[in-house]
Amino acid sequence: MALWATSCSSSEKLFLASSAATKRRMGSRRRDLVHVGMTDQAETETISIAYKEGDRERPKWADETPFSRLVEALISFKPFYSLLKLGARQVLISTAEKNNIPWREMTKEILESDVYKELKTIQNTSLQYPDYYLSPFHAYDEGNLSWLAAAEAEVATMSMTRRAIPYAPSNEEATQEMRGNWVQAIKQHHMKHSGNVTIQNIVDIGCSVGVSTRFLADEFPSAKVTGLDLSPYFLSVAQYKEKKRPPRKNPIRWIHAAGENTGLPSKSFDLVSFSYVFHECPERAIIALVNEAFRLLRPGGTLAITDQAPKSKILQELSPALFTLMKSTEPFLNEYYLTDLEERLREAGFVNMKTLLTDPRHMTMTATVPHQHV
């Protein structure tokens, strides 16, 4: 189980992780809901890990400073950008290999599989892609619209997790800390603010290859879960991997659509989730995604956003070399950091906004659709 202490200072979020509960969680793939600040000392030994905030609202490198503009100019210079792109990719691969994550083997397994057969059952050929989505992302010239990006997405996520939580004893425990804290924040928020609304329908918007979607389906086994993404290649991998698992009582539904205009019925979900999506979007897309989430949620429903934390002490103290590499593969990163996300949620109609550092580099923001929403 994971808990956030209620007595945290403004500069530090105190996360309480139970090693015994983590072992139970990994064995049974279930997670018990526990109130903030409560532990059963007779049942479990508790250790504390501090997630520290920096002194600023956002990293200095995200502000409109002369140095930031210099970095943007360097990135726009194509020969230099090509070098940065290779460097950023190598950082992820190196992190993976140092932590016994078989990057090349996992990628090869997907590319040499029958995953390509899934495309025709997933792809919406009439879908119009937003202009921002056609930009290069994550060191891929085609962005998320390629088989290589799709094949490497899960292993890249594993590498990102290890960079965020390098102190974890294993890759599995790093994943449990990152994903477990995220889910726990959702459960605690929903229990407090939903008015006893049961989570029966979930949509994971920007689901990529389904890592977050499968985690939600495991955590809420009685719910009907939908994974939605703009990349038919990512969705093909998601569907292919899901077919390799034992059948679920409620199979995950995969939809190829834009998160800003899903085509799904209004007030049809109890939880809308965005996992590591917003930092890849310009502010206009973030606003559209938030408005669509509000439309999709029932009164008392919960919005959950997990993404890079502007207040993270680690991110605020990144070296110039590292943040230049990061910005080179994330074309809208500055817009994300400069967006007042809580204000955008408030403008859309959400209430009960809460933001927690749920690992050293990432935050989870939760909010509620008012119960009187018509």
Domain contains 58: no
Domain contains 19: no
Q: To which residue do tokens 């979930």 refer?
A: 202
Domain hosting 207: range is 66-369
pLDDT at 80 over 80: no
Residue 91 region, left (φ>0) first, then alpha (ψ -120 to 50), else beta?
A: alpha
Domain contains 252: yes
Domain contains 341: yes
Which sign, positive or negative, has the C-alpha torsion 139, 145, 146, 147? positive
If you average pLDDT over residues 328-340, what whole number do you get? Answer: 89
Structure tokens at 95: 């992190």
Residue 130 region, left (φ>0) first, then alpha (ψ -120 to 50), else beta?
A: beta
Domain contains 54: no
Question: 35: number of CA atoms within 13 Å, CB side?
Answer: 4
CATH number at residue 305: 3.40.50.150
Give me the pLDDT at residue 51, please.
Answer: 87
Domain contains 374: no
Domain contains 34: no
pTM of the model: 0.84
pLDDT digits (tens, 9 = 90+) for 279-316: 999 999 999 999 999 999 999 999 999 999 999 999 99
Instruction: Kindly indicate the confidence band of residue 358, based on its pLDDT and cuts at 50, 70 and 90.
Output: very high
Domain contains 8: no
| Total count of domains within the chain | 1
Give me the pLDDT at residue 263, please.
Answer: 97
pLDDT at 37 over 90: no
What is the distance between the alpha carbons of residues 333 and 66, in angstroms, rounded to a whole number? 17
